[in-house]
């Protein structure tokens, strides 16, 4: 009973299981988003923090990772100890992304399951993000939105760019 309740709670809160974005594709995603100085970028479900660490290393921005799974969050924190503080700012938060305030985002990066993207995340982003916020979705489109741009590369995963109206 206790276990099935726990499993159901995790499933209900889940964006996707942990599968990391490929580093080469993160570079493509960042180019697509073209962050400007001072931008705030979120990785929703940041796994082991690769997107956050790379984004802040390459751009003068603030990169924030939200991760629900504590062991993955711990890895992010350990990796951040080795991060060069002279580059952009980084922050990791151990929290359910669906209970997190994203209203200060300029860019949102997400790698989630298609049904969760369209049914749960899209309504949250529609009500919470400010107009002009860029949403970058790795591999899967967000149904119900028209992409502003799509990075298609042969034999690689597609990356979708949306702009909040």
Ligand X SMILES: C[S@@+](CC[C@H](N)C(=O)[O-])C[C@H]1O[C@@H](n2cnc3c(N)ncnc32)[C@H](O)[C@@H]1O
How is residue 97 written in tokens? 């992304």
Cα–Cα distances in angstroms (integers) from residue 106 to residues 17, 55, 63, 78, in the given order: 25, 13, 10, 26
Residue 147 CB-half CA count within 13 A: 18
Burial of 86 by CB count in 10 Å (0-12 exposed, 13-18 middle, 19+ buried)?
A: exposed
> Which of the ranges 12-20, 32-40, 121-129, 155-163 carries the binding residues for ligand X, by CB under 6 A?
12-20
Nearest approach, Cβ of residue 149 and ligand X (Å) = 19
The pair phi, psi for residue 10, each rounded to 5°, is: -65, -45
Among 30, 40, 41, 51, binds ligand X (CB under 6 A): 51
Question: What's the rounded Cα separation, in Å, for the pair 15 and 113?
Answer: 6
Cα torsion 90, 96, 97, 99: sign: negative
The binding track of 59-88 with respect to ligand X, each residue x by CB under 6 A or -, is -------xxxx--x----------------
Under the criterion CB under 6 A, does residue 14 sit at the interface with ligand X?
Answer: yes
Q: Extract the tokens encoding 117.
A: 């993207």
In angstroms, what is the minimal distance from the CB of 28 to ligand X?
Answer: 12
Site string for ligand X, 20-49 (x = CB under 6 A): xx---------------------x-xxx--
Interface segment toward ligand X; rule CB under 6 A; list 7-15, 82-90, 129-137, 152-160: 7-15
Nearer to ligand X, 106 or 146 (CB): 106
For the bound state, the minimum distance from the C-beta of residue 116 to ligand X, rounded and expressed in Å, comes to 8
Q: Which residues bind ligand X (CB under 6 A)?
A: 13-16, 18-21, 43, 45-47, 50-51, 66-69, 72, 96-98, 111
């Amino acid at each position: 009973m206790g276990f099935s309740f726990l499993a159901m709670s995790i499933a209900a809160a889940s964006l996707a299981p942990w599968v990391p974005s490929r580093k080469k594709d993160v570079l493509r995603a960042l180019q697509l988003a073209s962050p400007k100085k001072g931008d705030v970028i979120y990785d929703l479900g940041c796994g082991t923090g690769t997107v956050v660490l790379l984004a802040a290393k390459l751009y003068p921005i603030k990169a924030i990772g939200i991760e629900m799974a504590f062991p993955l969050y711990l890895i992010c924190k350990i990796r951040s100890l080795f991060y060069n503080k002279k580059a952009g700012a980084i922050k990791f938060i151990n929290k359910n992304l669906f209970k997190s305030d994203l209203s200060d985002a300029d860019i949102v990066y997400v790698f989630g399951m298609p049904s969760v993207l369209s049914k749960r995340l899209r309504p949250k982003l529609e009500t919470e993000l400010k107009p002009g916020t860029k949403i970058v979705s790795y591999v899967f489109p967000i149904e119900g939105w028209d992409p502003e741009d799509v990075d298609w590369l042969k034999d690689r995963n597609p990356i979708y760019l949306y702009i909040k109206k």
